[in-house]
Amino acid sequence: MAQVVWTTIALAGVTTLILLVIAAPLGWWLARSRGWWKEAVAALTALPVVLPPTVLGFYVLIALGPNSPLMTLLQPFGVRTLAFTFTGLVIGSVLYSLPFAVQPVRNAFEAMGDRPLEVAATLRARPVDAFLHVAVPMASRGFLTAAVLVFAHTIGEFGVVLMIGGAIPGRTEVVSIRIFQDVEALNFADAHRLSAALVAFAFVVLFSLFLLQRRAAAERA
């Protein structure tokens, strides 16, 4: 049980860190770009919200399998497949939780407006400096919201991690899959304990997000 919990937390933590790094430039570009193609990128980014997890998991499984063009490129480096590995789980989780990271960050950048950047420009700040030292700190609540959502969303993943990871004990088995296995084995006591823990965790996450939104609204007022 401890190994399952640790694998789940490690997966959520690594996924969150990777997505915060990805969401910063991507959310900034979506918030600032005026090109029509940005909406196509935004739609592609949000696709996991409407796709069944098994569909996304299936295509990621194919992409990470030994016969895919991607793995063919990696075979000279000794990587034959990433399917049914923790690395494969991370890749699938990053893709599945991408919209939960990008959208809050994009919203935070859009809410910031142009004025802070104009002030930074008058002080001769380079665009990179303005982004790192002005935009990112001002969008900190967006990053915090993204981190909480991604971590919680990854904790509750089922379809994607089952398709890509295969529930290998000690390697790719996570809490949501263990609950499913306990129910299949009619081990309702353990399933109840894990399910109740996830319900409590979800409540704390949502309650924290609502408090953050309330505080942000009060500060704006």
Does the pLDDT at position 73 exceed 90?
no
Can you give the pTM of this predicted structure? 0.88
User: pLDDT, tens digit, for every residue of 97-146?
Assistant: 999 999 999 999 998 887 887 787 787 778 888 888 888 888 888 998 89
- Beta carbons within 8 Å of 212's beta carbon, 6+ residues apart: 141, 144, 145
At the topology level of CATH, where does 2-220 sit?
A: MetI-like fold (1.10.3720)
User: pLDDT, tens digit, for every residue of 155-175?
Assistant: 988 889 888 988 788 788 898
218-to-144, 196, 211, 213 alpha-carbon distances in Å? 17, 33, 11, 9
